[in-house]
Chain A
């Protein structure tokens, strides 16, 4: 079986070390801004060449639930949960559990369970 190509995206390097709130209206470096200006484009590139987009979550000060849910759950709402699962993966040596957390947000993107969890 051929190994799929990997594209890399480090949020701290290309966007911000201090990712902000959910929406643009709430403040700077929001998940909405990240999704629309960077993530969607890189993700579509990965899909176009049947690659996997490896999102590196290290290097920043940490992520809020709202940022991760809106960025990656939002991506799943714009594309499909299945497409996102097939073309994205996460890497974090600083917080290894983040990978599972983000996949949960992706899986619950359409039901909104992660948004309602509180």
Chain B
């Protein structure tokens, strides 16, 4: 089945050549110009070969971009969930065991997504063009804001505003990474 388009193209070419020869004032020499045939063959091989190569590369790149984009979106979703969990519990004093576990589980989910994104990026062809430094830094800082003392007992009064500031930084980090990905992949 994969050769059908090529065979059809060859057939269409032959028919077009025959029809072209019917047009008045166009003459066709009935001899084979070997140099011309070789040039044509090389030209066709280069054209189709390069085209095929480009298409393969392009498909791989698009696939990689889709995967990385999905993982970055997962990161945004995980950070939004973590924000929601924090907002639900930050006023508790002392924090309940369930709240502590929920916050730590949300944090693990968020950290895992970033870890997966980093692992996926390491396997990509254009990894050197994408930089995850800011996302990693935000991850460490956000973790510190959510789990530094007096956590696991409670949160102090300024933590809500700090959390919101870091939540914004995390979101901006992901958006910036996605825009960068859009440019280079």
**Is B143 within 8 A of A65, CB to CB?**
yes
Interface of B is mostly: helix
Given the known interface contacts A18-B152, A21-B149, A64-B151, the answer about A118 and B162 at a Cβ–Cβ threshold of 8 Å is: yes
**Is A61 within 8 A of B105, CB to CB?**
yes
**Is A94 within 8 A of B148, CB to CB?**
no
**Is A62 within 8 A of B144, CB to CB?**
no
Q: Does B100 contact A (CB under 8 A)?
A: yes
User: For residue A95, which residues in chain B have a CB less than 8 angstroms away from its CB?
Assistant: 108, 111-112
**Is B148 within 8 A of A20, CB to CB?**
no
**Is A118 within 8 A of B149, CB to CB?**
no
Give residues of chain A (62-118) contacting chain B, Cβ–Cβ below 8 Å: 62-67, 94-97, 101, 104, 114, 117-118
Min Cβ gap A116→B in Å is: 10
Count of chain B residues with a beta carbon within 8 Å of a chain A beta carbon: 26
**Is B107 within 8 A of A23, CB to CB?**
no
**Is B115 within 8 A of A61, CB to CB?**
no
User: For residue A118, which residues in chain B have a CB less than 8 angstroms away from its CB?
Assistant: 141, 144-145, 148, 162
Given the known interface contacts A117-B141, A118-B162, the answer about A62 and B149 at a Cβ–Cβ threshold of 8 Å is: no
Q: Does B104 contact A (CB under 8 A)?
A: yes
Report B137-174 CB contacts with A as 1/0, cut-off 8 Å: 00011011111111111000000001000000000000
Q: In the complex the two chains form, what is the Cα distance from A95 to B105 in whole Å? A: 11
User: For residue A66, which residues in chain B have a CB less than 8 angstroms away from its CB?
Assistant: 147-149, 151
**Is B145 within 8 A of A23, CB to CB?**
no
**Is B162 within 8 A of A26, CB to CB?**
no
Q: In the complex the two chains form, what is the Cα distance from A61 to B99 in whole Å? A: 11
What are 30 of the A-B contact pairs (CB < 8 Å)?
A: A18-B97, A18-B152, A20-B152, A21-B149, A21-B150, A21-B153, A22-B148, A26-B149, A26-B150, A27-B152, A61-B100, A62-B104, A62-B108, A64-B104, A64-B147, A64-B151, A65-B144, A65-B147, A66-B147, A66-B149, A66-B151, A67-B147, A94-B108, A95-B108, A95-B111, A95-B112, A114-B144, A117-B140, A117-B141, A117-B144
Please give the residue numbers on chain A whose beta carbons come within 8 Å of chain B beta carbons, in ascending order.
Answer: 18-23, 26-27, 61-67, 94-97, 101, 104, 114, 117-118
**Given A62-B107, A95-B111; 6 other pairs, CB 8 A cutoff:** A21-B152, A61-B104, A62-B105, A63-B104, A118-B148, A118-B162
